[in-house]
Structure 1
Amino acid sequence: MSIQRVLTRAQAVAAAAALIGGIIAATPAVAADSAPSAPSAAELARIDKGGAGQGKSAAAAARLTAAGPQISRSQAIQRASSWVGKGLEYNWYRTYQGYRTDCSGYVSMAWNLGTPGLTTPDFVPSGVASWINKSQLKPGDALLNDAAGASGHIVLFGGWTDSSQTAYSGYEFTGSGVHHRTIPYPYFPGYGTFKPVRNNSIVDDATNPGPGPDNVGVFRPSTGEFHLRYDDGSLAKVSWGEAGDLPVSGNFDGAGPDNIGVFRPSTGEFHLRMDDGSLTKVSWGEAGDLPVSANWDGSGPDNVGIFRPSTGEFHLRMDDGSLTKISWGQAGDLPVSANFDGAGPDNIGIFRPSTGEFHLRMDDGSLTKLGWGENGDLPVSANWDARR
């Protein structure tokens, strides 16, 4: 890449920050750098994707260790999510929480590597990461263009959007900020060659059988009461809802036992009960939607979502409040959600009353069909025997 092109990218980043209300102070003089000037509209659109330059690497220290500290896949996703929505500005001369605010500094942070982070040419040669195949990709891996400077870029892989494996949920830091969005595999065209890569110290999440088996319960719309069965067979009644509400349950506050909630189609709101009995309202849906709840992103508390029968789409809410849409079903289907493959985040599925089949989505986007039921049945899903 020529010096002139690097300068243009630096200029574009500085101007993009100014547009969102920030004024970047002048940085100390560095060889081949010049004062920024306003970019064109075309340049601003270009920096929404790909790299926009990278600062000094921590490659020398990384070569001494040849690996970062052990980290689980859900921890990597959770760390990446922690920068989403903070309004951080792309500037490879600056740091946040010790890490450079550029693409490779961001993924270094997600993988809990040494500060200020590696640059794209260093991940594999340093021994921190290794190339893998597309079929091996799991949440917490990455797509890497290992070119230097502004020509390189890296994206944290969050999982396939569907079984076609033509697009994925990705976390990236571009010239316009930190994004969690759907990205075509391997990356948007025109930004170089991207290949799958894995942190050598990442590990699959340990299975956790939990404190005991799940229990059953009913929601009685006529009284707005939940009747819940405990491990010892005793009954608990909880008033939480009104006529017309639809029940939902999950660990909404990320601690203690699971909680109850209702989805109110008349208002498109979830009314969720916390461990302390307090109420949290979340607007997420509309009349005709069917509620679901699970830990979609594999970290933190459970999230809410809806299945829209008119379009055969799930609209899932992430920890950071962002929306993920997944086409998985058709009119007449009924939604279910659980960790169907026993690893990583929870998954979605549907029960098709017309065929008596469950269509369940796995972590890699593949489909599993299970014949279990008949027309008129209603679906449920949980860990009945408390084993993984």
Structure 2
Amino acid sequence: MNRIARPRLTALAVATALASAILATAPAVHAEGTDLSDPAAVTLLADYSCGSVSGSDNAIATRLSAALTGSLNNYLTAYRVSCARAIINAVQARGLSHRAAVIAVTTSIVETTLRNIPGGDLDSVGLFQQRDSWGSFDQRMDPTWSTNAFLSQMLKVSNWQTRPVGDVCQAVQISAYPTRYQEQAQDAEQIVNAVLADTTTGDEPVAGNWDAGNGSPAGNVGVFRPSTGQFHLRMDDGSLKILDWGQAGDIPVSANWDGAGPDNVGVFRPSTGQFHLRMDDGSLKILDWGQAGDLPVAGNWDAGNGSPAGNVGVFRPSTGQFHLRMDDGSLKILDWGQAGDIPVSGNWDGAGPDNVGVFRPSTGQFHLRMDDGSLKILDWGQAGDLPVSANFDGGNGTPAGNIGIWRPSTGQFHLRNDDGSLTVLDWGQPR
């Protein structure tokens, strides 16, 4: 019987076969040459949890992804938002500033595109790609521990509070690509602001003159509750008026859509780029205006033409522009604000059409645009606050609009009166 000759198994062949078997069952590592700062790059690394991924994280990702201008443009996911949230929570627990959160999130965007991964270059792992000299594997893979380790080094950087964000990141990371960080700082600020404001699950503030039908000129406050799709409006006498309008993920707006009587409510739906406005008789008016990533605003842009009806508009963070819809459906563009700002509208001059403005969470300042295009800055609020505007002093006969903020941590409105004094109103559910 003929025998089939078998090749001799050399030591090299045995070693090669054994190595192949081990690699087949070993945990995957990143593909050779993979750039972890590129969200489109394919890696074999499994994402480690940064904490539970919530509906809020998904809503923020949906709203912001297309608006970002850096590497996460169209790549921001709910998981990545959850990692940003873990970083921000660690910053807040340590009592550090909004700027510290922006620096930390910027760093993680560059290092891993906000992913908590168990590998990278050499022995680097985690959100910040920290080497084994920083701590154990388990420590570096823990979002809270790794963020605190990063922050401890950041605090050693001289003038970290005022130096460019990218410079501070580089001083901690000592990267071979030092210019990459500053390029992502603007997106990091948008993400931090969105997480701090988190207008997707908890109450969201709104302001308008709900009692105008009673002859009262003063503005009122209220909240939109996404979990129930209801507006909870505070009337002049402190009583509650509930209106069923909107759904989770919507952003509330208010103006006098009918041009008479009390102000009306409405919502902007980022998923469709539509405004759903509630008229005096409870009917629905839909306006297509805006796109994913825009933030809504409402006011009477056409008042100079004698029109009393309110209009809608959006603030586009990616361009720092307001896109306002006029009565005839035409577009008016105003350059005002920057990425990370939150839009407001009111009649700051007390005459003519309403004006636009922005609240800048990083500084706690309102930057208001006056009729002549000049800038008026008011210090009011802090990071995490959400802005509102109405004529809170209308009972004093003054026509000028006022600003204020709603503080999610306390469920309180802090309203600024004409004389600069503070009125505090408890309204809404703390987050």
TM-score range, shorter chain: 0.3 to 0.5
| Structure ID, larger Rg | 2
TM-score (norm 2): 0.41
Which of the two has greater helix per residue?
2
TM-score, length-scaled by structure 1: 0.45
Higher RCO structure, 1 or 2 (CA under 8 Å, sep 6+): 1
